[in-house]
């Protein structure tokens, strides 16, 4: 497993294409983007792209993988920290929302859009991103339950609910909701507050 100069050049060119693809996809979406578009932005001939990616789908696979790498890196640092759940949750969201800049959010939108209607990509997305991400998150969650920081809850479902909240907010923002756009940066503070304090206060009063 030695990386030669060839491999490095190869990787650099691949990344160059992926960068260009990100730009073009963000502008036109996956299907409307053409190989020529991507080649033009990358400053290479369109045929060259096929020396590095088997087909158009493979370019999106490449982007998915890159997104996944940073995601799992970020997930891993969590989970063993010595905090309450609300602190963990707030920290997780803060981290996640901060790391997810405009470009990443736009790219996520492209991927979601295509995964929803492309069976081959969906298959890849499931095995390459969804399942590993769930697995890591479930492990982190479970360890907090084991450590007595969380009540014995339904870990798989809980993980899905939390990620659904994040995912849904990203999508609603991509839909162009101005309220979310304007107040995006305050979400890491507001969201746990809503979920924890908002609901708790109410529930404490009611019975």
C-alpha 174/C-alpha 111 separation (Å) is: 12
C-alpha 49/C-alpha 21 separation (Å) is: 11
34 sits near DNA (criterion: CB under 7 A): yes
194 sits near DNA (criterion: CB under 7 A): no
**Residue 56 binds which entry of DNA, its own copies, none, CB below 5-8 Å type-dependent:** DNA
Taking a C-beta distance cutoff of 8 angstroms, is the pair 157, 93 a contact? no
Instruction: Pick the stretch among 50-58, 64-72, 97-105, 112-120 that binds DNA (CB under 7 A).
Output: 50-58
**Residue 198 binds which entry of its own copies, DNA, none, CB below 5-8 Å type-dependent:** its own copies
- Find the binding residues for DNA in span 54-113 (CB under 7 A): 55-57
Which C-beta is closer to its own copies: that of 52 or that of 170?
170
**Residue 81 binds which entry of DNA, its own copies, none, CB below 5-8 Å type-dependent:** none
Task: Spell out the SS3 assignment of 114-142.
Answer: HHCCCHHHHHHHHHHHHHHHHHHHHHHHH
Among 35, 67, 97, 110, binds DNA (CB under 7 A): 35
Tell me which residues touch its own copies (CB under 8 A).
Answer: 28-32, 84-86, 109-110, 112-118, 122-123, 125-126, 130, 134, 149-151, 153-154, 156-158, 160-161, 163-169, 171-172, 174-177, 179-180, 183, 187, 190-191, 194-203, 206
- CB-side exposure of 166: number of CA atoms within 13 Å? 19
Q: How far is the CB of 12 from its own copies (least distance, A)?
A: 29
- Report residue 149 as tokens: 């920081």
10 sits near DNA (criterion: CB under 7 A): yes
The values of phi and psi at residue 115, to 5°, are -60, -35
Single out the residue of 138, 143, 161 nearest to residue 81, CA to CA.
143
C-alpha 144/C-alpha 148 separation (Å) is: 6
Q: How many residues bind DNA (CB under 7 A)?
A: 20
- Report residue 127 as tokens: 């095995």
- Report residue 88 as tokens: 């963990």
Applying CB under 7 A, the residues found at the interface with DNA are: 5-6, 10, 13, 32-36, 44-48, 50-52, 55-57
């Amino acid at each position: 497993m030695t990386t030669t100069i060839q491999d490095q050049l190869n990787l650099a060119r691949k990344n160059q294409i992926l960068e260009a693809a990100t730009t073009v996809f963000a502008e036109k979406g996956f299907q409307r983007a053409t190989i020529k578009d991507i080649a033009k932005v990358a400053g290479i001939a369109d045929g060259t792209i096929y020396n590095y990616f088997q087909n158009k789908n493979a370019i999106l696979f490449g982007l998915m993988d890159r997104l996944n790498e940073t995601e799992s890196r970020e997930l891993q640092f969590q989970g063993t920290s010595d905090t309450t759940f609300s602190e963990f949750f707030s920290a997780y969201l803060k981290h996640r929302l901060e790391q997810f800049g405009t470009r990443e959010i736009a790219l996520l939108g492209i991927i979601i859009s295509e995964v929803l209607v492309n069976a081959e990509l969906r298959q890849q997305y499931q095995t390459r991103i969804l399942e590993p991400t769930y697995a890591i998150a479930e492990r982190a969650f479970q360890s907090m339950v084991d450590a007595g920081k969380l009540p014995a809850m339904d870990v798989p479902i809980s993980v899905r609910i939390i990620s659904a909240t994040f995912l849904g907010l990203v999508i609603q923002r991509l839909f162009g909701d101005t309220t979310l756009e304007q107040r995006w940066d305050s979400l890491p503070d507001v969201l746990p507050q809503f979920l924890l304090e908002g609901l708790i206060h109410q529930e404490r009063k009611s019975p």
